[in-house]
Structures are given as C-alpha cells and as structure tokens.
C-alpha cells in the first residue's frame, strides 16, 4: 500500500503490523498499522477504526505505477 506513515492524531509513526491477533494487540486485531504513541489502530488500507485517538484515515498521496518495479509518488496526473 502507498500510505503516508504519519499518524493523524499527533504525528507519530505507526508501525506495520500484518500479523493476526498478536498477544500485544489482542484477538480482534486483523492486521494493519498501529501507532505506539497513543494506540491508534488503522486497517491494512490505512482507515482508522472508530473510537481511536486519531481523527482521520492515513493519507494516500497521488502515485502511479511506472513499471513493474517503479512507483512515482507525489505527482497528481490529473493536475500535471
């Protein structure tokens, strides 16, 4: 996923936690991003779960796939 890795709560850096139900995140954790500063949970698409400190989803910057192994991030093709 192409996601800006800055928590929308207070700017900490969420960690990618793809494992399901790890001991430290509980049995309901289905994988995603966890902010260690204040505990916000985001799903694998960067959407914040209800009831979290973070008010918004993680931002998705404009990006394009230029080749099988090349991604350009930050250029909005509609405005270019």
Which residue numbers are catalytic? 38
* Long-range Cβ pairs for the range 9-14 (8 Å, 24+): 9/35, 9/37, 9/38, 9/40, 9/52, 9/53, 9/54, 9/55, 10/37, 10/38, 10/53, 12/36, 12/37, 12/38, 14/40, 14/42, 14/58
């Amino acid at each position: 996923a192409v996601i800006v890795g800055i928590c929308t709560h207070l700017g900490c850096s969420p960690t990618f936690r793809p494992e399901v139900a790890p001991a430290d995140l509980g049995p309901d954790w289905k994988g995603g991003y966890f902010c260690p500063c204040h505990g916000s949970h985001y799903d694998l698409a960067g959407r914040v779960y209800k009831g979290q400190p973070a008010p918004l989803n993680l931002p998705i910057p404009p990006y394009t796939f230029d080749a099988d192994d090349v991604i350009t991030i930050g250029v909005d093709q509609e405005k270019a």
